Amino acid sequence: MPASPEDSAQRHRISDTSVSLGERLHASRELSLTLARPLTDEDQTVQAMDDASPTKWHLAHTTWFYEAFVLRNHMPGYQPFSDRFEYCFNSYYETQGPRHPRAHRGLLTRPSAEEVRRYRSHVDEALMGLMSDEGSLAPEVKELIELGINHEQQHQELLLTDILSLFAAQPLRPAYQPLTLVTEANSLASETRWISFEGGIKEVGHDGQSFSYDNELPRHDELIRPFKLAHRCVSNSEWLEFIEDGGYVNPLLWLADGWGAVKSNGWQAPGYWEETADGWRQMTLHGLVPLNPAAPVSHVSYYEADAFARWAGKRLPSEFEWEHAAQTTDAANNPANTLGSGTLRPCPASADAPVDRVQQMMGDVWEWTGSAYLPYPGYRPPPGAVGEYNGKFMCSQHVLRGASCVTPDGHSRITYRNFFYPHQRWQFMGLRLAEDA
Amino acid sequence: MPASPEDSAQRHRISDTSVSLGERLHASRELSLTLARPLTDEDQTVQAMDDASPTKWHLAHTTWFYEAFVLRNHMPGYQPFSDRFEYCFNSYYETQGPRHPRAHRGLLTRPSAEEVRRYRSHVDEALMGLMSDEGSLAPEVKELIELGINHEQQHQELLLTDILSLFAAQPLRPAYQPLTLVTEANSLASETRWISFEGGIKEVGHDGQSFSYDNELPRHDELIRPFKLAHRCVSNSEWLEFIEDGGYVNPLLWLADGWGAVKSNGWQAPGYWEETADGWRQMTLHGLVPLNPAAPVSHVSYYEADAFARWAGKRLPSEFEWEHAAQTTDAANNPANTLGSGTLRPCPASADAPVDRVQQMMGDVWEWTGSAYLPYPGYRPPPGAVGEYNGKFMCSQHVLRGASCVTPDGHSRITYRNFFYPHQRWQFMGLRLAEDA
Amino acid sequence: MPASPEDSAQRHRISDTSVSLGERLHASRELSLTLARPLTDEDQTVQAMDDASPTKWHLAHTTWFYEAFVLRNHMPGYQPFSDRFEYCFNSYYETQGPRHPRAHRGLLTRPSAEEVRRYRSHVDEALMGLMSDEGSLAPEVKELIELGINHEQQHQELLLTDILSLFAAQPLRPAYQPLTLVTEANSLASETRWISFEGGIKEVGHDGQSFSYDNELPRHDELIRPFKLAHRCVSNSEWLEFIEDGGYVNPLLWLADGWGAVKSNGWQAPGYWEETADGWRQMTLHGLVPLNPAAPVSHVSYYEADAFARWAGKRLPSEFEWEHAAQTTDAANNPANTLGSGTLRPCPASADAPVDRVQQMMGDVWEWTGSAYLPYPGYRPPPGAVGEYNGKFMCSQHVLRGASCVTPDGHSRITYRNFFYPHQRWQFMGLRLAEDA
Amino acid sequence: MPASPEDSAQRHRISDTSVSLGERLHASRELSLTLARPLTDEDQTVQAMDDASPTKWHLAHTTWFYEAFVLRNHMPGYQPFSDRFEYCFNSYYETQGPRHPRAHRGLLTRPSAEEVRRYRSHVDEALMGLMSDEGSLAPEVKELIELGINHEQQHQELLLTDILSLFAAQPLRPAYQPLTLVTEANSLASETRWISFEGGIKEVGHDGQSFSYDNELPRHDELIRPFKLAHRCVSNSEWLEFIEDGGYVNPLLWLADGWGAVKSNGWQAPGYWEETADGWRQMTLHGLVPLNPAAPVSHVSYYEADAFARWAGKRLPSEFEWEHAAQTTDAANNPANTLGSGTLRPCPASADAPVDRVQQMMGDVWEWTGSAYLPYPGYRPPPGAVGEYNGKFMCSQHVLRGASCVTPDGHSRITYRNFFYPHQRWQFMGLRLAEDA
C-alpha cells in the first residue's frame, strides 16, 4: 500500500518498541485508514462470504473495541458516539450483549463509511486525550491499549484478505493496488535444502515479558524429536506438479474430510487460481496476474497442505518444531515480506541467503502446522470480557505459524499462534515441509 | 417522493399520452435517478435478500435493456459503454448469454454507482440521438422503446420495495424519505360496503390498441358468476382482529403450504410489523412509524390473504371478477395513491366517495386474487429475446391486480397482471374480499 | 398383481355398484393386503424419499382412518387397538392432534408389519360387525365408509408408486412383480390423430348423485373454446426425439422454474430412465426393462410436460377441455389399462380402436393439464375433520386427469381431479397434447 | 444381551488369548448374530441418522471385510457370494471401488436380513475352512483375521449404539433388552477423590507385541506434567447440578462452536434424556427408564464435556495423562461394566474399591480427553487397502479413552484411541475430570 518513503518509515516505527505507546496507537489507527483509502465506500460495505467482513465493519469494530473496553470504563465523562453501535459492531463478545449477526454485516449500509470515519475521529480524539498524560495511566489501561493495537493489526490483515475475497467475486476482477513494477523473475524456486534440528526438551511459548496474546502463554517445556525442516515454503511450481500428478483426483492422498471438501467445493487448484487459455492466472490484491512459479503457494486449506505433504512423502511440522527452528535461526530478525514491503503477495525466497538457514519464516504466507489449536498446559484466559478472545476457539482448528505478506509490521512473533479451520483458505496460507531426522 | 410542484407536474406528463415518446422516455429515465437520489452509493449497492436487487443494479439493468435490445440492433455505429456489462446486468434473458447470478448482485461494488450513472448518461445520450428524428423511427423500434419505458417503470417500483427490505434489515431502521407531515387520522376505516355485480360472459384482457404486456393478451371472453366485492381493501385494524383471534395459530384457517410457511418463517404478523412496548409499529419508506389502523394492510403473502378470507367467511376475487368490477366502475380514472402522490405507503380509503362504488382499486396495495398466473386462451409470447418476458413465469404464482402506492404514474391499467409466488410479501401487497352473490 | 382369474373377477366387483357397501369395503380392505404380499416386511418399512410413505404406513394409516372417523364415533363400545397409533398414523389432520413427521415415517420399525396386520384384522372385524346390519346404518356412516374405501384406493396407488421409488433406489433394482410374459411389440405408437371438439358453455364437475370427492363439486358451467385433442398420449419414442433434439439443454423451451429444476436435479430424461450400453432401460414395477418406444411416456413432471408441448408447437389441454372430451367420447367405458389388468406399467394404445375417438383416457398414465388446482366456483369443504381433505392443497399444484396403470378399478371418474406439484414425477404421470381449433 | 451363563462364559473366552485364533474368530462371528437376535428384520434395516448404520449393514459389512481382504486374496477357489455386495457393503475404502452412499444405507431393503444371514454363513464356512489348518496360515493372513475380529468388535459396539438411536426415534420407545432386575440404588455417587500422578517423560502407545490398531503406534515418549485425576466419572446427579446452574444457557462456559451447537440443536440436556412430569427419564437399550443419579453421565458431546469441566473449575485430561494413570493403576485388570456384564448402560462406581485408585477406566462410558486425534510421532499407516483405516480420520476429532458398557470383551486396551467429532454424542460418551497438580 504505502508507496512513499514516509509511509514506510512511519510503519517501521510501529514495531519500534522505543516509541511511546501513544505514538504506536496513533500510527496503528492511521494505518487502518490508509489501508481503506484505495477503496470506494461501496467496496467498504459488502462482504463476499460469511467468513469475511466488510472493510467498514473492520474500521468500526476496531474502534468499538476501544470504546467498549477502554473509554467507557476508564475515561470519566466519555460520551459514546452512538448507542446503536454497540449492537452493530460487537464481534462475538457474549458478555457485551446481543449483536448483529456475522453473516449480515454486509447489509449495513448505515452507518455510512463516512459516519464510520467520523466515529473513528471521535474515538481517536478521546484516545489521544487519554494518552496525553501517558505516564499516569493505570497499567491495566495501558495493557488494554496494547491489546487494542494488536487487535486492530489482526483486523488490518483481515481487511486485506477480505477485500481480496470480494474483488475475486467481482466479474470485473479489480485490483486493490495496481502493480507499478513487474520485476518478478519467472524462474523456479531454488532447490529445497533440508535443515536439521536436534531433539530434546525445549522451551516454547511466550515469556510474558512483553505483549503477547493469552494463547501463547505460559512458556513451558515440550519434548521434541530430531527433525528436518525445508529451508523455504512449497512453491507454486511444486504445487503445479502436484496438480499434474493427479493430486486433486486421488482420494488416497487425502484425509477423509479433506476429500469430502474437494468434492463438495469442486477444488481443483488453490484459491484464486484461474486456468485460462494463456496458462494459470492468480487473482491477487494487484489484480489478476500470471502465476509466479517461484513464489510460495498460497490460499491452500489444511486439507490441501496435508495432502500435498503426503504426496511428497513428507509431513507438516508441529507448531513446536516450527517455533524451535525459528528460535534457533533468529527468524524474527530475518523477515520475508510483510505489509511494510509494499508487495501484497508472496514473493520467491531470496537466492542469496545463508545456505544453512531456514528462510521465509516471518512473512509471505502463514504456514500450516500439523498441530491442533489447543490450550497450552496451564493456560488460563484473562478475566473479564477481553478473556473472550482466543480460548473459546480452541477446538477443531489448526495452528499456523509465521506471518504473511499482509501482516502489519510489528505484529509478528515466533511464538504467535494463528488458527483457522482446516477447510478455510481465504487467508494467505501456505506450507513448509518437514520430516523426521 | 417529489416534494416540489415541478416534479409532480413532470411525472403527470409521463402518463399523458399526448406527449411524445421521446419526452416520455426522457421523463422515465429521469425518474429512476430521482428515486435513487435519497440513497447513498452504499445503499445502492447491497441486496437484503435473493429476491431483491440493489438500486444500482436496477439503474444499470434498465439501461442495459436499451443497449441490448435497441441501440446494438437499431442504432448504427453505437459504441457500447463496456463489454463487461452484458454479463453483469442481464437479468434472465437466456438468449442474451451467461449472466451474473441473481443472489450475487449485491456483491457488485464495481462498477461503482458513479460509473453506473455515467453508463446511464452514455446510453441516454445515444437514445436521445435516436429519438431526435422520432418520426422516421421504425415501428418496431418505437415498440421496443415503449417496452423499455414500461420495463423501467416496473423496476422503479421494485427499486423502492427492495430498498424497504434493505432498510428494514438495518439495525438503525433508516427512513428513505422522512415524513414531513403527519396528517393521518388514527381512526378506523369506514365500514365495508358490498358492491354487487351481475354475471354473464364478459370480455376481459387488453384490446391491443395501445401498449400492454403480452400476458394481458388476447382480449377474450370469460364466464363470470354474480358476485359482490368489498368497496375497499382489508384494513390494518381488521388484520389486528385476525391476529387477536388466533389467526396465526390456528392451522385450520390455512392452506397446508401456508401453514408450513407460517411455521418455518415464524410469521406472527404482516411483513415489517414490529410489536413494541408502545404498540405495533410498521417499517415503511418513511421509517418506523405507528401502525395506521385505517390504512389497507400491506406486505401479506397469498397464504395470509387466503387465510384471512377464510377466517372472515369470504373469499378472494378472481382476477376476472376484479377486472370486470374495475371496468364497470371506471376504476382507472378513480385512482388511489400511487407514486406521484408523494406518500410512499398505503392510505385509508376516502370517506366521502360515492357509496355505490368500489374504491382503492388502482393504488395503495396490489390485491391478491384467487387466480393462478396462467396464459390467456390463445396467448403467444412475442418472438425474439423480448419474448422471454412474462410467459416463462406462468407457473406456481398468483395474480395480483391494481397498483400500489409506489407504482409509477402511467404504469397502471385495469388489465394489468402482476404476479408473485404465494409466500412472497415484500411488495406492497394486500387484499380485497369477495363473495358469491 | 392378481395372476388368477378369481382375483380379477373379485376386483371387477369392486367397481360394480350393484354389490353392497359391505362387500365393497371387504374387497377394498383385502386388496391392500394383496398388494403388500409380494413385499418383505423390510420392504414395507422404508421410505425412499419424503414424498413417499412406507407400505406399512399406508396399511396402517388407511386403517386408522376407519378407527378415527368411523369406529370411535359411530360404534358404541369399540376398543381402539392402541392409543399410540393415533400419533403414528395420522397423516395431516390437524384436528386430530399431533402426529409423527412425514419425513420420519420410514423410521417406524415398531409397530412391526406383523402388528400392523393384526391392527388391520382388529379394525376389519369391528367394521364387519358394524356392516352386519348395513340397512340400519346412518347415512353419514355409510358416507364415511364410502370415503374410507376411496381413501384406501388412493393409498393403494401410492403404495405402488412409493414401492417403485424404493426399489429404484436399491442397487439391486428388484422387481415388485416379475414379468411373466414379454409380449410387447417393439414398434412405434400409431401416428397421432387430432380429434376436434366444439366450444361453448359446458357443464363440468360431478353431479353429486353418487360418490365423489369434494373437490369435484359443484357441477357448474365453464366456457370452452373450440379445440383439438390428440387421440393418444405422448409416447416414449416421441420423448426420445425431444431428448435427441436437445430438449433438456435448451432453456428457451422451459418455464423459468422448470429450467431451475432441470439444473438442480440434473434431469436428462424422465424418471426411472437409465441409459446403458444396450440402450435405454426403465425401472418399473416389473424390474429394469428395455424402454418400450410405443408406450406412453411416464414419470415426467409438469415442467417437462410443458416443455415438451412447447417443443412440439402444441399445448396441454385444460382440465375442462379434458373432461368435456371424456364426456363426449364415453371415456369412462373405454378403459386403458388400470390396476386390474395385471400390467403394472403403461401400455401402447390399441391400434384397432375407432379412428375418431380419443383413447387411453382412463388408464396408463395420469395426464397433466394446464390447469392450476383451485376450488370450483361455490366450492365448500365438508364440515368436520374429513373436511381437511382436498381443499387445503389448493395452491401451487396442477391438475392431472384420467387414471394410471396402478389406479384401482372402480376408483376412476371423468370428473376426478388428481393434483401434484409441478416438480413431482414419481407417480405414473404423462401427457396428451392439445391445440386450439 | 447374554442371559445364560454359557453365553457369558463363551464371551469371556474371546478375550482369553490362550484360545486359538480360529476359536476367537468363531466366537466373534457368533456374537454379532447374538446381538442381532432381539431385533426384527425391520429393526435391522433402518438407520435413524446419517452417522448410524442399520444392523443388517453392520452384519454384512463385517462379512464383506473378510471377503474383500482375506478370502478373495488368500483362499484359492473362493466363490464370492454375490458380485453386487461389493458395492453395497464397502464402508469407505476408496481402493475397493465405488460404494453405496452412507446416508442411504437405510434404504437397502434388499438384500434382506435373511439373505445377509446366508451371506454370513457362506463366508463363515469359507473362513472355517481356511482356519482348519491354522498352523500353516501365512502370518499376514493371521494378521488380517485378527484385524477382522477387532473390526467386527468395533461394529458390535456401533450396532448397539445405532439401535439405541433408532429406538429413541420411535414413538413407541421400545426396549432392546428388557430389564430383568431393577437393583439400582437410587443414591448419589460417592464423593470424588483426586488421585495424584507425578510428571516426567513417560512412555505411551502400544508396544507392538500383540494386536493393536495402527493409530496406537509407535510407542514413544511424552512429557507429562504432574496432575490429578478424579477417581470416577462425572455422574448424572452432577450433570443435573450443571443444568440447574444454567449450564446450557450461559455462553461463557462454552467453546464458540459448542455454543453454536447448543443453539442449533436445541440441547438442554445430554442425549436421550427426557424431562417428564415424573422427573428425568433416559432412553436406554433397556427402554425408557428413570435417570440413575449415581451412574456416570453418558451421551454428552465434547462440547458439553468441555463446558462442564469449565463450570466445575477443572479440565479434561489429555489422552497421555489418562493412559499414564491407567498404566499406573493397572486399569486393564480392574474393569467396569462392558458388554459381557449384561447391563447395557453405565453403572455407578463401586463404593468399596480401594480409595487410592482410579475406577471405571475400562467400561461404562468412553471418556472424552482434551487431546485432538492426531498421528503419533513416526506414525505410518500400513500399506494396502487396510491402511485406509485410522489415519484418514486424523483431523477435527477428539480422542476418547477407556471403553463403554457395550464394548465387547477383549476389545479394550489402555492404549486404545477412540475418536469422534466434538458434536457427536450418540455413543456411550462421558467424562472424567482432571486438574494440574
pLDDT score for A91: 87
Kindly indicate the confidence band of residue D14, based on its pLDDT and cuts at 50, 70 and 90. Answer: very low
Contacts of D172 in chain C (CB under 8 A): 84, 88, 110-111
Q: D73 in a domain, yes or no?
A: yes
Same domain, D422 and D274: yes
Helices D21-36, D139-168: axis angle to 10 degrees equals: 10
Q: A221 in a domain, yes or no?
A: yes
Q: Is D166 within 8 Å of C113 when comparing Cβ atoms?
A: no
pLDDT of D397-410, one tens digit each?
999 999 999 999 99
SS3 (DSSP) at B55: helix
pLDDT of C344-394, one tens digit each?
999 998 877 788 889 999 999 999 999 999 999 999 888 877 777 789 999
Query: How many residue pairs from chains A and D have C-beta atoms closer than 8 A?
Result: 70
Element (H, E) at C128: helix C113-131
Q: From D342, D346, D344, select the one nearest D5 (Cα to Cα).
A: D342
**Which chains contact B through at least 3 pairs of Cβ atoms less than 8 Å apart?**
A, C
pLDDT of C125-158, one tens digit each?
999 999 998 999 999 999 999 999 999 999 999 9
pLDDT of D229-278, one tens digit each?
999 999 999 999 999 999 999 999 999 999 999 999 999 999 999 999 99
The residue type found at D338 is T
pLDDT of B255-307, one tens digit each?
999 999 999 999 999 999 999 999 999 999 999 999 999 999 999 999 999 99
Domain end among B127, B151, B168 = B168
Q: Which residue of D201, D255, D374 is in closest CB contact with A392?
A: D255
What CATH number does the domain containing C291 carry? 3.90.1580.10
Average pLDDT over residues B243-247: 98
Mean pLDDT over the full length of chain B: 91
Which ranges constitute the DSSP H helices of A67-138? 72-74, 85-89, 113-131
Which class for B208: exposed (0-12), middle (13-18), buried (19 or more C-beta within 10 A)? exposed
Same domain, C205 and C112: no
Kindly indicate the confidence band of residue D132, based on its pLDDT and cuts at 50, 70 and 90. Answer: very high
Average pLDDT over residues C60-77: 95
Q: Which residue has the higher pLDDT, A2 or C250?
A: C250
Q: Is C92 within 8 Å of B256 when comparing Cβ atoms?
A: yes
**Which residues of chain A are at the B interface, by a Cβ-Cβ cutoff of 8 Å?**
40-46, 48, 84, 87-88, 100, 104, 106-113, 166-167, 169-172, 174
Residue D277: how many CB atoms within 10 A of its CB? 4
pLDDT score for A337: 87
Q: What is the distance in angstroms between the Cα of C305 and the nearest Cα belonging to chain B?
A: 13
SS3 (DSSP) at C167: helix
Mean pLDDT over the full length of chain C: 91
Q: Is A395 within 8 Å of D254 when comparing Cβ atoms?
A: no
Q: Residue C434: what are its φ and ψ, rounded to 5°?
A: -135, 165
Q: A319 in a domain, yes or no?
A: yes
pLDDT score for A182: 54
Least confident interval from A113-117, B321-325, D6-10: D6-10
pLDDT score for A313: 97
Average pLDDT over residues C25-30: 97
Q: A297 in a domain, yes or no?
A: yes
Average pLDDT over residues D338-362: 88
For the cut 50, the answer to whether the pLDDT of residue B11 exceeds it is: no
Helix (H), strand (E), coil (C) string for chain D: CCCCHHHHHHHHHHCCCCCCHHHHHHHHHHHHHHHHCCCCCCCCCCCCCCCCCCHHHHHHHHHHHHHHHHHHHHCCCCCCCCCCHHHHHCCCCHHHCCCCCHHHHHHCCCCCHHHHHHHHHHHHHHHHHHHCCHHHCCHHHHHHHHHHHHHHHHHHHHHHHHHHHHHHCCCCCCCCCCCCCCCCCCCCCCCCCEEEECCEEEEECCCCCCCCCHHHCCCEEEEECCEEEECCCCEHHHHHHHHHCCCCCCHHHCCHHHHHHHHHHCCCCCCCEEEECCEEEEEECCEEEECCCCCECCCCCHHHHHHHHHHCCCECCCHHHHHHHHHHCCHHHCCCCCHHHCCCCCCCCCCCCCCCCCCCCCCCCEEEEEEECCCCCCCCCCCCHHHCCCHHHCCCCEEEEECCCCCCCCCCCCCCCEEECCCCCCCCEECCCEEEC
pLDDT score for B180: 67
Of the CA atoms within 13 Å of residue D46, those in its CB half-sphere come to 31
Residue A250: how many CB atoms within 10 A of its CB? 14
Q: Name residues whose C-beta falls within 8 Å of residue B4's C-beta, 6 or more positions apart in sequence.
A: none
Q: Is C111 within 8 Å of D172 when comparing Cβ atoms?
A: yes
**Which chains contact D through at least 3 pairs of Cβ atoms less than 8 Å apart?**
A, C
Q: Is A395 within 8 Å of D306 when comparing Cβ atoms?
A: yes
**For D113, which residue in chain C has the nearest alpha carbon?**
C42
Pairs from C115-120 (Cβ < 8 Å, separation ≥ 24): C116/C56, C116/C59, C116/C60, C116/C63, C117/C33, C117/C59, C118/C81, C119/C60, C119/C63, C119/C81, C119/C82, C119/C85, C120/C29, C120/C32, C120/C33, C120/C59, C120/C60, C120/C63
Q: What is the distance in angstroms between the Cα of C223 and the nearest Cα belonging to chain B?
A: 6
Q: Is C46 within 8 Å of D106 when comparing Cβ atoms?
A: yes
Q: Residue D230: what are its φ and ψ, rounded to 5°?
A: -65, 145
Q: C180 in a domain, yes or no?
A: no
Question: What residue numbers bound the domain in which B277 lies?
Answer: 194-436
SS3 (DSSP) at A127: helix
pLDDT score for D8: 32
Residue D16: how many CB atoms within 10 A of its CB? 12
Q: B288 in a domain, yes or no?
A: yes
DSSP letter, residue A192: P
For the cut 50, the answer to whether the pLDDT of residue B7 exceeds it is: no
B272's torsion region: left (phi>0), alpha (psi -120 to 50) or beta?
A: left
pLDDT score for A184: 53
SS3 (DSSP) at B284: strand
Q: What percentage of residues in chain C have a pLDDT greater than 90?
A: 81
Same domain, A246 and A158: no
Note whether D touches A: 3 CB pairs or more under 8 A.
yes
Round to whole Å and give the CA distance between C53 and C61. 10
Task: State the total domains in chain C.
Answer: 2
Peptide bond into C218 cis (omega under 30): yes
pLDDT score for D91: 87
Q: Is C171 within 8 Å of D108 when comparing Cβ atoms?
A: yes
pLDDT score for C298: 98
Q: Is B110 within 8 Å of A46 when comparing Cβ atoms?
A: no
Same domain, A307 and A389: yes
pLDDT score for B1: 28
Round to whole Å and give the CA distance between D203 and D327. 10
Contacts of A321 in chain D (CB under 8 A): none
Same domain, C330 and C406: yes
pLDDT score for A93: 85
Q: Which residue of B94, B223, B256 is in closest CB contact with C221?
A: B223
For the cut 50, the answer to whether the pLDDT of residue C12 exceeds it is: no
Q: What is the distance in angstroms between the Cα of D266 and the nearest Cα belonging to chain C?
A: 18
pLDDT score for A195: 96
Q: B399 in a domain, yes or no?
A: yes
The residue type found at B140 is E
Check: CB of residue A426 under 8 Å from CB of residue A365.
Answer: no
Contacts of B116 in chain A (CB under 8 A): none
**Which chains contact C through at least 3 pairs of Cβ atoms less than 8 Å apart?**
B, D
Same domain, C262 and C366: yes
Round to whole Å and give the CA distance between C104 and C84. 16
Same domain, D113 and D220: no
Distances (CA, A) of D170 to C61, D159, D166, D173, D174: 17, 17, 7, 5, 7
Distances (CA, A) of C419 to C314, C390, C401, C425: 22, 10, 8, 12
Round to whole Å and give the CA distance between A428 and A158. 10
Q: Which residue of A42, A104, A169 is in closest CB contact with B45?
A: A42
Contacts of D303 in chain A (CB under 8 A): 395
Highest mean pLDDT, choosing among A413-427, B15-29, B330-344: A413-427
Domain end among C150, C168, C186 = C168
Query: How many residue pairs from chains B and C have C-beta atoms closer than 8 A?
Result: 69
Average pLDDT over residues C162-171: 97
Same domain, B279 and B209: yes
Same domain, B27 and B120: yes
Q: Is A40 within 8 Å of B112 when comparing Cβ atoms?
A: yes
pLDDT score for D11: 32
SS3 (DSSP) at A152: helix
What CATH number does the domain containing D72 carry? 1.20.120
Note whether B touches C: 3 CB pairs or more under 8 A.
yes
Same domain, C201 and C269: yes
Round to whole Å and give the CA distance between D25 and D20. 9
**Which chains contact A through at least 3 pairs of Cβ atoms less than 8 Å apart?**
B, D
Tell how far CA D251 is from the center of its chain: 30
Round to whole Å and give the CA distance between A403 and D250. 35
Same domain, D253 and D151: no
Q: Which residue of D46, D48, D174 is in closest CB contact with C45?
A: D46
Residue B150: how many CB atoms within 10 A of its CB? 17
**For B92, which residue in chain C has the nearest alpha carbon?**
C256
pLDDT score for A183: 52
Tens place of pLDDT for every residue, chain A, 437 residues? 233 333 333 333 334 457 899 999 999 999 999 999 999 999 999 999 999 999 999 999 999 999 999 999 999 999 999 989 989 999 888 888 888 899 999 999 999 999 999 999 999 999 999 999 899 999 999 999 999 999 999 999 999 999 999 999 999 999 999 876 555 556 788 899 999 999 999 999 999 999 999 999 999 999 999 999 999 999 999 999 999 999 999 999 999 999 999 999 999 999 999 999 999 999 999 999 999 999 999 999 999 999 999 999 999 999 999 999 999 877 777 777 889 888 899 999 887 778 888 999 999 999 999 999 999 999 988 887 777 778 999 999 999 999 999 999 999 999 999 999 999 999 999 999 999 99
Terminal alpha carbon distance of chain D = 42
Helices A139-168, A21-36: axis angle to 10 degrees equals: 10
Round to whole Å and give the CA distance between A300 and B71. 46
Least confident interval from A351-365, B60-74, B207-221, D130-144: A351-365
Mean pLDDT over the full length of chain D: 91
**For D82, which residue in chain C has the nearest alpha carbon?**
C172
For the cut 70, the answer to whether the pLDDT of residue C425 exceeds it is: yes
Query: How many residue pairs from chains A and B have C-beta atoms closer than 8 A?
Result: 78
pLDDT of B174-193, one tens digit each?
999 987 655 555 678 889 99
For the cut 90, the answer to whether the pLDDT of residue D354 exceeds it is: no
The residue type found at A48 is A
**For D106, which residue in chain C has the nearest alpha carbon?**
C46
Q: From B162, B199, B215, B175, select the one nearest B48 (Cα to Cα).
A: B162
Q: Is A94 within 8 Å of D225 when comparing Cβ atoms?
A: no
Helices A21-36, A113-131: axis angle to 10 degrees equals: 170
Check: CB of residue B87 under 8 Å from CB of residue B98.
Answer: yes
Of the CA atoms within 13 Å of residue B296, those in its CB half-sphere come to 35
Q: C278 in a domain, yes or no?
A: yes
Selected residue of D42, D55, D110 to mutate for chain C interface (largest C Cβ count, 10 A): D42
Note whether D touches C: 3 CB pairs or more under 8 A.
yes
Q: Is B43 within 8 Å of A100 when comparing Cβ atoms?
A: no
Q: Which residue has the cell 432386575?
A: D181
Same domain, B378 and B317: yes
**Which residues of chain D are at the A interface, by a Cβ-Cβ cutoff of 8 Å?**
92, 94-95, 201, 221-223, 225, 251-252, 254-259, 302-303, 306, 370-372, 374-375, 377-378, 388, 392-396, 422, 436
Predicted TM-score (pTM) of the model is 0.94
